[in-house]
Structures are given as structure tokens and as C-alpha cells.
Amino acid sequence: MQPVIELLVANHPGVMARITNLFSRRAFNLEGILCGPIGDGRESRIFLQVTEDDRLPRVLKELNGLHDVLGVMLRYDVPAGVFDPRRVGEMKMAS
Amino acid sequence: MKRTGAQIIAHLLTRQGVPFVSGIPGGANLPLYDALGAEGLPHVLARHEQGAGFIAQGAARATGRLGVCLATSGPGATNLVTALADAKADSVPVLAITGQVARPLIGTDAFQEVDTFGLTLPITKHNWLVRRAADLLDVLPEAMALAVSGRPGPVLIDVPRDVQLEAAEFERWPEPAQPAPKKPCDPAGVERFAAMLAAAERPILYIGGGVVASGASEQLTALARASSIPVVSTLMGLGAFPADDPLWLGMIGMHGTPAANRAMTEADLVVALGVRFDDRATGRLQAFCPEASVVHVDVDATEIDKLRAACLGLTADVGLVLDDLLPLVATRHRPIWRARVADLKARGSYPAPGADPARPQDLIGILGASLPEDAIVTTDVGQHQMFAAQHYPVRRPRGLLTSGGLGTMGFGLPAAIGAALACPGRQVVCVSGDGSILMNIQELATLAELDLPVTVVVLQNGGLGLVRQQQDLLFGGRYTASNFLRQPDLAAIARGFGLSAANLGASDDPLGLLAETLAGHRPSLLVAPVDQAEGVYPMVLPGAANHEMIEDRNHAACH
């Protein structure tokens, strides 16, 4: 399965910009994003679908270094389907 | 109690013991300025926000403590950007507080509105857009702690005008900001470090700004001497190891000593302390000490294995690691390696500077011999900077303040002002060039107003010297846009700002004039005309390996 980075972040405005900035600056491909607040809304969980890359360990380290990032985990058990944008498209049509 | 956002900022800065803030007021930060005045926190009025940023940096670099600068919204904030990027590149603890348009106007393209948060996101350690005055009680201590914790760096707080005016009710003031405890190293790592050192035949210490930031100069010197390990340094590490020690080989990299660059290629163990394997230091990375194992100690985990895989990577404070390591290090004499190092040093040091003030190398040497041990030298960026790095004997950590990572022309003068403010009683000299000095010349007004003992020495070679040198070597000597066609009278300009100023080239006794000016301990500027043909050598061309140094201009013909 494709690598997925799971992040626990402080739910501050701009936190997504910090993370995407880190990827875009390094021209590191970000294929899918799934994000939402958890608990009382002070934290969010983010899933980033990425591609296998030699630089992946370094990206994990840099994500860990961001002040608003509270936890980083690399997972290989997330089905690609959860990032499939067509799912939401179909939901819309059904409603 | 009830305080406005502006009052909260002013009080928390003062309580933290921030000695002064530098900045420029404007529409969107006037409430803050009003509160600062009421609180009595000393303020230094710069004449351009980039100057304010570098004044804060000069104070922070000279002391290791937090520097604080202020700017208004829009152009005030964009003018700060270069100084913040510079602080990020060299890991300097700076707090910038910017005014922002009032909350209802954010996102409407209001007058002097710019997305300061977005602009500074990639060039700060962290930044905040504060949306409620009460949030400042958390954000300000957090920001002040973060800037000086771990690997230091710049932080920015953007505060909308109406948040500065909003009143917040709270029970008590937050605890003062404390830097996070220094990161120690696990004992197993230190033991392995000691074992690798014991097994090495030809170890070398490659040191950088992290040693200075950690305050680990003493431990470093003890380690080098106990185990007979030669020391090379990056630009940012100069001053951390005594330059008169036989183990000192000098700076490595693009304009380093041949001795340092050659010794690196011969070492079997490179002990990298507080360095980041920057391209100016390593040359072509694949050819950088290819035979050596690397022990890399850095407080920032992202630096380990970033550019060069380490056999042993320790994410920890350099000083704490050396504290733990020293008891495990046996005395070693390494006679063969030391003899080799002495030989490299005898054949591969910079030529000793002479006494001709029209030669830039000599002028730096004269300054080095004239200035007291505790003097602080700042530089701008260019040939004069490299001459200073090569020939000024930096006698203590934080004795040379220079823009290393970002290489910002215009750094030197405001940084000198900040250093002089933060270190009263110490002499400060800014070594600049006739290109660089014009990039923040307006700060001469600030200097004159503050009446600080800062002498600016402008090495005037009539152009952008380092650019011209690269055009010489890489572009067939075609000097596109690197020569000045008219030379402004910098001494007259300085006098216009209220400094005492003179031109060494017009004097019968330039050395006497220099000595007299330095002894004056007042704002002064000296123009030193230098030979345009002097280049900075040796030099490693971009993309070449460090051992492929060009020793002088005549040897460059084949490139």
C-alpha cells in the first residue's frame, strides 16, 4: 500500500499552510489530504497520502520539527480508497 | 485586572528583561507604541525596518539573548522580511511584532494590508496571527521561549490594530518565558562517540555556529587539546576555538585555508559539531572527506543525515554532549597526525598580512592588531567579508558577527548598532564595502543619534567585488553591471549624517588616522580605497571539490 503520513496537530489557523509549504518547497508530492478536528476541537488529525521517496524520512523529521505538529506516524495500512475524491462527488449526486 | 493587548505586550516584554526594542511606528502599531512609551521600555528608532531587524539581530548575535523588533503593517512588515530570513538562516533568536490592519479589514485589501503571516511562514521558526487580546498572554511567553530554545531562530507575532486596543480581563500575569531545558544525549551515544574517537587515527573537529550558540567553546578546546584533534571551522564557528592554538587549521570551504580543506580529505573521522554541511563549507559534497566516518552532533534533528549520512548522529546540545564525553576521553598525542597537520599548516595557511592599508588583507590584519580582545567586528557581505573571515583573528565566540547563511548585504551597520547597544563599553567595528554600505546607509542617522562607539570601515574597490571576481573566473572577465561608474563621497555623506569621517586614501598617515579614529570611541566612518584587482583567494569554484582550490588569480586561467 501507498505510504500515508498521519499527523496530530494543534488546530490553529494556518497549520495546514505550514504543512503544505513544507511539501511544496521541496517539490515533494502530496497526493491526498484528509483532515478534521478531533476531541474538543483543539487538535486535528491529518492523513497525507504520499509517494515512496528516498526523502520521506527527512520529511517526517521536518514535520516533527514544526511547532504545531504534536505527533507524526508513517503508515502503510490506509486503503487508498479513503482519499478517492469520487466518493464525495457521488455523495453530492445522491443528496 | 484589565489590560489592552498593547499593554500586555509592553508589560511582558519589559518584565522579560528585554533591554530595548528597535523599530518604526506606523498606523497599525501605534497603540503598541503608546503602551511602550507608558511602560518606559527603551526604543531605538531605526530608519528602515530592515535596519530595525538587523539591530535586533546584532544584539542577539552579540549576546545570545532574544532581540526584539517592531514594524507596522504592509510595507513595515515586508521590509522586515529579509532580516527575519537572515535570522532563520543563521539561527538567531529574534522576536518580531508587527501591526496588522484591524480584524474587520483583514482580507479586504485594506490600506497597508499584507498577509504577514503567510509571507513569514517559511522564514520563521513559528509565527502567529493573534485574534484576541487575551491570547497574547499565552502567545507572547511561548514566542519568547521558542526563539531561544533548542536551535534558536526568529519568531513573529502579527497583531491587528483592534486587538492591540481590545481590553482583556485576567486574574494574573503568565509565568515569564523560560527556554526549554537543553537537550542532553543518551549515555550509550556518548560512549560510542568516545569509542570512535579512541579508534580513530586521524580525527578532525569540524565546528560551526552551533558550538557558539551552545556556549561550548571551552569544552571544545578541552577536547581538542586532550585528544590532539585539529580543528577546522565554518564561517559561523570562527571565534569558538583559539586561533593561536597549533591545532587550529582555520576556516574550511570556498575561501578556507588549503590546510583546513586538505586535512579534511585526509581525516578518517570527522567530528561535526553544530554544523549543517552547507555547500559553501563542503564544496562538492560527494568529494567532501569521502574516506571519513562522520560523528554529527546537532541540537536540530533535521540536520542529522540531511546532506551527509552520519555513522553516529546525536541530536543534543553540543555543550552537554562534550561535558559527558570529556571524562571518557583519554589523553592522546597522535604524533604522526599532528606532524602531518603541522606540515599542512606550514604550507597551507593564508599569507601573513603586511602593513599596506591599500591592500584589503593588510587592512584587516592592521585592524586585528589594533582592536582590543573584547572588540566586536561586524561585516557586510562580499570580498571585505571574506578578507575579514580570513585575516581577522576572532578572539572569542560572538566576536565576529556576519551574515553567513543568507549573505545579506546591508547587514553590517545595523548589526553593529545592535551589538554596541547590547554590549556597552565594548568597541564595535563594522567592516563594509562600497556596495554593501549603501544598502542600509540610512542607519548612519540612527548611529549618530545614539552616539555609540561604532567605527565603519568601508573597503572601497569601486564595484561589487565578489561578483566581479566570479565574472573574472566564470564569465570571461565580462563585468556586466558590477562596476560603479560614479563613486559617491562616502566620507562627506557620513559627515552629513553627523559622524566624524575621513578618507584614508587622502591622508599622509593612514595608519595614524585609523588608530586615532578607533581611539575616538565615537560614531565614525573611514573610507579605505583598496586595490580593485585584489581577489579573495584561495577559492573553490561553485561545484568543485574543496581540495581543487584555486590558489590565486594566475592559476585561474584554465577555468
Q: What is the pLDDT of residues B487-537, one digit of tens each?
A: 999 999 999 999 999 999 999 999 999 999 999 999 999 999 999 999 999
Using alpha carbons, select from A49, A25, A22, A21 the residue that is nearest to residue A35: A49
Distance CA B493, CA B501 (A): 9
Q: How many CB atoms lie within 10 A of CB A68?
A: 17
A68 chain-B contacts, CB cut-off 8 A: 126
Q: For position A87, what pLDDT does the model report?
A: 81
**How far is A77 from A47, CA to CA, in rounded Å?**
12
Report whether B434 contacts B487 (CB < 8 A): yes
Determine the pLDDT at residue A93.
62
Residue type, B168: A
The CATH-assigned architecture of domain A4-94 is 2-Layer Sandwich (3.30)
Chain A environment of B305 (Cβ under 8 Å): 57-58
Q: Are B229 and B201 in contact (CB under 8 A)?
A: no
Picking from B302, B304, B307 by the largest number of A CB atoms within 10 A of its own CB, the best residue to mutate is B302
Q: What percent of chain B has pLDDT over 70?
A: 99
On whether the CB atoms of residues B142 and B59 are closer than 8 A, the answer is: no
Question: Residue B359: enclosing H or E segment and its boundaries?
Answer: none
Closest residue in B to A56 (Cα) is B306
Residues B354, B350, B542: CA angle, nearest 5 degrees = 130
This complex has an ipTM of 0.92
Question: Is A48 in a helix, a strand, or coil?
Answer: strand
Q: Report the gap between the CA of A13 and the closest CA in chain B (Å).
A: 9
Name the residue facing B121 among A17, A57, A58 (closest C-beta): A17
Q: Does A14 touch chain B (CB under 8 A)?
A: yes
Domain ranges for chain A: 4-94
Q: In whole angstroms, give the CA distance from residue B73 to residue B54.
A: 18
Strand ranges inside B244-325, DSSP E: 248-251, 269-273, 293-298, 312-315
Residue B558 has pLDDT above 50, yes or no: no
Interchain pair B305, A57: CB under 8 A: yes
- Chain A contact set for B126 (CB, 8 A): 66-68
The verdict on a CB contact (< 8 Å) between A67 and B117 is no
Q: What is the pLDDT of residues B332-376, one digit of tens each?
A: 999 999 999 999 999 999 998 899 999 999 999 999 999 999 999
Higher-scoring residue by pLDDT: A65, B554: A65
C-alpha cell at A10: 494543534
For residue B499, is it left (φ>0), alpha (ψ between -120 and 50) or beta?
Answer: beta
The residue assigned the cell 521517496 is: A53
The mean per-residue pLDDT over the stretch B180-208 comes to 96
Question: To the nearest whole angstrom, how far is the Cα of B121 from the nearest Cα of chain A?
Answer: 7
Looking at the complex, does the CB of residue A39 fall below 8 Å from at least one CB of chain B?
no
Contact B306 A58 (CB under 8 A): yes
pLDDT band at B136 (very low <50, low <70, confident <90, very high): very high
**Which structural domains are found in chain B, ordered by start?**
2-169 (3.40.50.970), 187-347 (3.40.50.1220), 360-554 (3.40.50.970)
Per the CB < 8 A criterion, the answer to whether B465 and B409 are in contact is no
| B67, B423 Cβ separation under 8 angstroms | no
Tell me which of A12, A16, A61, A72 to substitute to probe the interface with B (most B C-beta atoms closer than 10 Å): A61
Q: What string of H, E and C letters represents the secondary structure of B3-32?
A: EEHHHHHHHHHHHCCCCCEEECCCHHHHHH
**Cβ contacts of A21 on chain B, cutoff 8 Å:** 121-122
Q: How far is CA B227 from CA B31, B201, B222, in A?
A: 58, 11, 9
Task: Give the per-residue pLDDT at B559.
Answer: 41
Contact residues on chain B for A67, CB-CB shorter than 8 A: 125-126, 146
